[in-house]
Structure 1
Amino acid sequence: MPPTRTNAMSTIALQNISITFLGTASAQPSSSRNHSALALTLGGRGDVWLFDCGEATQHQVQKSDVKMGKIKKVFITHTHGDHMFGIGPLLAGCLNGMGGTVEGIEDKRLRAEAIQELDPIEIYGPIGTRAYIRSVLLYTHTRLEGRYVVHELRFPKDPPHGDFTSLPPHRCELEGRNILQNFDPQSSSGHGVWNDIHVDDLVSVSAAPILHSVACVGYVVNEAPLPEKMNPSDYVPHIKRNKAPMSHLQTLQRGEDITLEDGTVLKGVGKRPGRKIAILGDTYDPSPIIPLSQGADLLVHEATNAYLPGVDPHAHEEDTEEGVEKRTKSRGHSTPQMAGRFAKLIRARRLALNHFSARYKGDDDTNEESKSIMGAIRELAEKEFGGEVVCARDLMTINVPRVK
């Protein structure tokens, strides 16, 4: 089955693209950090895509400027609970008619028909995602009105077919794809990737495995190539001389060539690369995603633990930088320095750190302890990266501007 393609929005260009961090904690949440989740908002058409959905994500959405009714897709990086315990409540919130999607229709039959016309929420994740969601919805007797579909990214060791569960589909679940990896014989990493798991006229998503303590996925969102700015004076005299319609300018702006009556060929406006955002899950080594993430405008990378002598009041006296990194990697995670090195390796334009240990507070800059600790973590990453680094806080929004 081919990847999802959406053409309804082909005439709407993406404007602002932003990321809102709904949860920036690692395994244990704190009073200032919720479990992992972030929302990618595609300006222009307003769609929201979630990446991971930890416990209380629905609550965090309500605290933010993210609109529940705009959530169209959810991408799960791995099946650890702190990254997906919130998916059941989120579906219950999104698929029971909330957000004004079917309000005002009292007739049950007409209401059901209206719901069936809505696009399903699409969920992507490793094997086990579909089984978990079925279990949650079944054993909590959750009633949904809308529809959803789960697409699973299968690793080579996974069975290529089947649902990995004996539970029947929920009545609102549509049949999803089991997506197999593509293998490049020229790749030196030995890992396959999942190319173009979603494609539409404005944006596409690909994925690759990243190394953690369990099967884990990193996602790369690519905006479609953008037309360069048109100079009408390059075209208008030729169009007028041939008494051709001025609507040709729209065709040329789309990048299409036009041959006029006198044989003049007007070349369509060239295109430049769109924005690229790489969103990684938990990892101690994300190298398999290097080919997809090269030149990312924004890299979101975890930084669970850091060596902060004299800054972190909870640091152990016997710790060393090497010891902290070794211990962090043994648990499947990264330090700020590791994130910075990877950002430099892929030539990212900007690095956002998240997934922090509960010992690192996520309060705003009025909390001096939090400000000091997060400033030290940022400096560790900056020293390795050499570029701009942001330490994410819950409900922080980062815009991803176009490169001029």
Structure 2
Amino acid sequence: MTTTIPKASVETIGPMQLTFLGTASAQPSSTRNHSSLALRLGGDVWLFDCGEATQHQIQKSSTVKMGRIRKIFITHMHGDHIFGIAPLLASCLNGAGGTAEGYEDPRSQHSGMTPMVEIYGPLGIRAYVRTALSYTHTKLDGTYVVHELRSPSDPQRGDYTTVLQLPLEKEGTNFIQVNGIWNDIYKDARLSVSAAPILHSVPCVGYVLHEFPIPGKIDPKEYIPHIKRTKTSMSVMQQLQQGSSVELTDGTVLQGPPRREGRKVVILGDTYDPSPIISLACDADLLIHEATNAHLPGIDPTTKTTDTDESVEERARSRGHSTPLMAGAFAKRVRAKKLVLNHFSSRYPGDDSEEAHKIMAAIGSLAAGEYGHDVICARDFMSFDIVHS
């Protein structure tokens, strides 16, 4: 007799890889594109923010494939985070312009063959996407849907746009905060996505991906001798790997290893204070935090002689942004296992030059002084795997 568990509860994501497509703040530079990062979950790609020229960055990337994009999560409505959405959708969903013969309903074409793209973001993202596609006469050959994360003070009904729902736009969900968070805005058998507001100059969101518990590490030497001794089928190892108990032919009961905590990834938008997301973000395997401005005397030639750590922080806060010191302090506060900084001022180069290495090392050192661990400073096309603790 064997005890099994439902198939859905044993599904796993597999490899999880993060690629930065754009790491600039406000304005792009010759070495940094506008904000966007891609998370590969098995065969799917999820984007977080989609600044101008994101699709160009994807075309240059060796790890991110346009046809694999299934979800786009937008942190806030500033242009450097959303101006790439419409052209990206046109590429993902085989978009085209109007024809000389006039409008032709795209639903009569080949719609349904291209996988749907889901977009999540604050109030206004649905209006922006719909308006951008409508007034550029963009015809898609695939469906999309826009879900909005609304605060209690936002209107709870309606699309917040005068443009009618487009032919291939599916009706989205309006998620309303409960106790200050948006819980489980997406959930499947492998993971859930929740969100919370973070403080910026405009409404902004941080996202938390939490993988469900995964099979524990199994030592075959603990089980195989008993299985062979009782001439039980070796297929029971599959049940043991999932943490189930198995009864052998002689009545012996073997218990599989307990399941391990899944990975947690926290991706913050622009912020000078992300404290509202603390309840979701604690003990993350990876925290992505902005560090737009830094005080780097003797390293950054644009540093003013009158600047101090305090004055640079005050200036960053006044614009809704953080310094490396602020990012490091927050990472320590939520006990993040790894901190990666991004969203740097355009004056900080992101290439392989000696100047860039020197500036990024200094920025990382400032954050590490608060955090207590080494810090990674992102640059465009940087990729790394997110592994289990």
Question: How far apart are the structure 1 equivalents of 2:388 and 2:257?
Answer: 18
CA contact (8 A) 1:18 1:399 kept: yes
Write out per-residue CA displacement over residues 273-323 of structure 1, whole angstroms, 9 at most, x where no aligned residue.
111111100000001111111111111100010111111111111111111
Q: Aligned residue for 2:3?
A: none
Shift of 1:164: 1.1
Matched, 1:390 2:368: no
Q: Aligned residue for 2:100?
A: none
CA contact (8 A) 2:11 2:189 kept: no
- What's the TM-score once normalised by structure 1's chain length? 0.86
Q: Aligned residue for 1:283?
A: 271
Matched, 1:25 2:11: no
| Alignment counterpart, residue 51 of structure 2, candidates 46, 54, 57 | 54
Identity between Structure 1 and Structure 2 (%): 61
Q: Aligned residue for 1:167?
A: 163
Question: How far apart are the structure 2 equivalents of 1:371 and 1:8?
Answer: 48
Matched, 1:79 2:67: no
Shift of 1:353: 0.7
Distance 1:10 1:133, change over 3 A: farther
- What's the TM-score once normalised by structure 2's chain length? 0.90
Question: How far apart are the structure 1 equivalents of 2:310 and 2:171?
Answer: 48
Distance 1:370 1:238, change over 3 A: closer
CA contact (8 A) 1:196 1:206 kept: yes
Question: How far apart are the structure 2 equivalents of 1:137 and 1:11?
Answer: 40
SS in 1 for 2:142: coil
Write out per-residue CA displacement over residues 124-149 of structure 1, whole angstroms, 9 at most, x where no aligned residue.
10110100000000000011001111
Q: Which amino acid aligns with 2:368?
A: E
Listed as ranges, the matches of 1:26-45 within 5 Å are 26-42=25-41, 45=42
Q: Which amino acid aligns with 2:316?
A: T
Q: Which amino acid aligns with 1:16?
A: P
In structure 1, stretches of 5+ residues that fail to align are 1-6, 99-107, 184-191
CA contact (8 A) 2:113 2:142 kept: no
Question: How far apart are the structure 1 equivalents of 2:183 and 2:223?
Answer: 38
Distance 1:234 1:369, change over 3 A: closer
CA contact (8 A) 1:24 1:35 kept: yes
Q: Which amino acid aligns with 1:392?
A: A
Question: How far apart are the structure 1 equivalents of 2:354 and 2:240?
Answer: 55
Q: Aligned residue for 1:68?
A: 66
Question: How far apart are the structure 2 equivalents of 1:133 and 1:396?
Answer: 28
Shift of 1:12: 6.4
Matched, 1:311 2:299: yes
Question: How far apart are the structure 1 equivalents of 2:178 and 2:85?
Answer: 28
CA contact (8 A) 1:208 1:219 kept: yes
Listed as ranges, the matches of 1:3-402 within 5 Å are 13-42=12-41, 45-65=42-62, 66-96=64-94, 112=110, 115-116=111-112, 118-183=114-179, 192-236=180-224, 245-258=233-246, 264-364=252-352, 367-402=353-388
Shift of 1:260: 5.9
CA contact (8 A) 1:349 1:388 kept: no
Q: Which amino acid aligns with 1:394?
A: D
Distance 1:97 1:164, change over 3 A: closer
Question: How far apart are the structure 2 equivalents of 1:257 and 1:162?
Answer: 51
Counting matched residue pairs gives 374
Write out per-residue CA displacement over residues 214-242 of structure 1, whole angstroms, 9 at most, x where no aligned residue.
11000111222111122345445665677
